[in-house]
Amino acid sequence: MRQAGRYLPEFQEVRAQHDFFTVCQTPELACQVTLQPIERFDLDASIIFSDILVIPQAMGLKVEMAPGIGPVLPQPLAGPNDLSRLVQPNVNEALKYVGDAITLTRHKLNGRVPLIGFTGAPWTLMGYMIQGGGSSTMAKARSWLYKYPEETHKLLQMITDVIVDYLVMQVKAGAQLLQVFESNGDYLNDALFTNYSFKYLKQISERVRKQLKEANIPEVPMIAFPKGATMNSLKILTMDQSYEVIGLDWTVDPIEARKQLGANVTLQGNMDPCAMYSSQDEIVDRAQKMVSNFGKTRYIANLGHGILPDTPISSMEAFIKGVHSV
């Protein structure tokens, strides 16, 4: 979860010279910051440095990274008529820089660890595109589900089509796993999750695998991270088996997750990012208990969401020490 970032001084040095999206859009810089945590820590995989909002950018919306605020879309979608503002991009051109960064990073890694590509999920991206940024309620985006259900599905399908091409391009460029971030899953009840999230998550997995097969490219494992999804929604996603791995946020009890979701799915997660402010001894202990509770079979140790910007480097070291000591 966000391996590279502001908690690393070497990342801060890069950002002092380049704005956020310049780093994303310059393959050499994206590769450089992707490798920073790999060079510093004993990690088992690498995730390409990019941002989920490169898709709205490619679809014609302006995205800015405002200091102290985060991503801002100054001209969000105000209503269904604004769908006409969106374009269906040629991903191989509009997002070529991501593919180039992946290829360059694969060469630099030289087999040391696998490289993960990723995307935001349709509902999560729709939320940003309508809200104009992050939101504590997602009220504008959620209101579309009730006021404009038909247009909502049209928008989600447009986003899905771009995501499918984007993920296939990432695999062709060298990504060895794919992760789909449904970061706004906690705003949907079970019925809404099924209709507006799961429907498109399933389609993404099926279409990506189909296109890879048609291109004679081996499938890669796929991870879904439906942050905040209820246990019932997690069951729906798990039983469908569209994704080999389900990521869990920090609110989910590992023992209950294993009990409810079964032993045949790989789970990822789920230490609270704020637990990284504990003492080093406590972090080691928490990491060990987390691994023990999940079990070492079909499990990927991780945080339950992105590492926070002011997390001490010593905390990351303690977390990794705890995980590897079990």
Chain centroid to Cα 316, Å, comes to: 19
Pairing of strands 64-66, 70-72: antiparallel
AA letter at 26: T
Active-site position among 15, 40, 207, 258: 15
Active-site position among 7, 106, 128, 187: 128
The strand ranges marked E within 200-289 are 222-226, 245-247, 266-271
Query: Would you say 305 and 252 are in contact if contact means Cβ atoms under 8 Å apart?
Result: no
Helix (H, G, I), strand (E, B) or coil at 144: helix
What is d(CA 106, CA 112) in angstroms, rounded to the nearest whole number? Answer: 9
Burial class (CB in 10 A: 0-12, 13-18, 19+), 302: buried
Active-site position among 7, 51, 187, 286: 51
Respond yes or no: is residue 51 known to be catalytic.
yes
Per residue, the 3-state secondary structure of 163-196, as one string, reads: HHHHHHHHHHHCCCEEEEEECCHHHCCHHHHHHH
Helix (H, G, I), strand (E, B) or coil at 213: helix
φ, ψ (nearest 5 deg) of residue 18: -140, 145
Pairing of strands 46-47, 115-120: parallel
Respond yes or no: is residue 165 known to be catalytic.
no
Respond yes or no: is residue 207 known to be catalytic.
no
> Which of 110, 102, 249, 70 lies closest to 175, judged by CA?
102
Respond yes or no: is residue 15 known to be catalytic.
yes
> Which of 159, 225, 234 lies closest to 2, judged by CA?
225
What is d(CA 76, CA 91) in angstroms, rounded to the nearest whole number? Answer: 21
Respond yes or no: is residue 6 known to be catalytic.
yes
Q: Which residues are the active-site residues? A: 2, 6, 15, 51, 128
